Amino acid sequence: MYKQVATLILNRNLPKITNKLYEHIQCFDSENTDIYVIEAGSNIENLSKYKTWHVNTNEVMEKGLRYSRGFNFALFQLLKEGKFKKYDYFFLLTNDTVFQKDKTIEPLLKIFDKHKRLGLLSPCNKEWGELKLFGNHDTKYFWFIHNTAYLLRREFIEAIYNPTSLNYFLFDGDNFRGYGSENEIIAKGYCNDWASAITKKVSASENQKHLIEKSDLIGTDPYEVNLKLYVEEGLSWMKRKYGFSSHWDMQQYSKSTYDRFFYMHPELKSYLI
């Protein structure tokens, strides 16, 4: 018996952190979700005890999968295994995501029930400036959302995915480190009549200490090096694919699709920021 949500957790060499997140979801949200763990080039001794798939090609063992390729792999694998259509939603989590000690998925699903054109929903980090934009609403639609924790409606994914390609299933795997990938899928969503939102009904944060302090263990570049490459490689990808010269251009592209959505759906303007 499949549950309504497939939760996907991406791990690389941090089994204790991954196990803790898995057990948190299992404790508070087990009635709503099945949980899958993607091992993105983890060493054998650093596999989560909840491992679902271990991607261990030479390239992945050396470089990992990162966010875009990691979740592309998991979603594509669920499709290959005949499980993708069994779920209504997919919850994409990096293993450094931290939630409050309470239900996460159930309140997010209630928001989806209320918002029929909502395709992507993110909990709000209490440190995000977006908190100042909610006014009297608990949920607002945005054209950019940090990708710590995305809950995606299956129909949203199906509107923008490439089901025949692992590298381009949902995200563009050519953008390896992912700078700008959030803008791209959100813009694609709005182009296909699906909105993206943040809610303050649920909070989530990212524990960046793991990347800063444990880069050697994870098997990735030091934090400052990774940040530099994240921006440089992402800008190069934007230029090649879209002809954009800056991240601001990418933001403006996403914003233009957002504005068009509200032109087509004036009844939803109370969720406009």
pLDDT at position 217 over 70: no
pTM: 0.94
Nearest alpha carbon to residue 144 among 177, 205, 94, 186 = 186
Environment class of residue 263 by beta-carbon count within 10 Å: exposed (0-12), middle (13-18) or buried (19+)?
exposed
**Residues linked to residue 118 through DSSP beta bridges, in sequence order:** 195
Q: H or E stretch including 273? A: none
- How many CB atoms within 10 Å of residue 256? 14
List the domain boundaries for the chain.
5-271
Per-residue model confidence (pLDDT) at position 226: 81
Cβ atoms of residues 69 and 175 within 8 Å: no
Taking the C-alpha atoms of residue 254 and residue 188, their distance in angstroms, rounded to an integer, is 8
Radius of gyration, alpha carbons of the chain? 18
Tokens 């089994």, located at residue: 15
Per-residue model confidence (pLDDT) at position 224: 83
Is 3.30.365.10 the CATH classification of the domain at 5-271?
A: no
Taking the C-alpha atoms of residue 208 and residue 15, their distance in angstroms, rounded to an integer, is 16
Tokens 């404790």, located at residue: 27
Query: What is the average per-residue pLDDT within 40-44?
Result: 94
Nearest alpha carbon to residue 183 among 149, 145, 150, 234 = 145
pLDDT digits (tens, 9 = 90+) for 155-214: 999 999 999 999 999 999 999 999 999 999 999 999 999 999 999 999 998 766 655 455
pLDDT digits (tens, 9 = 90+) for 196-212: 999 999 999 876 665 54
CA 175 and chain centroid, separation: 14
Q: For residue 44, which amino acid is it?
A: I
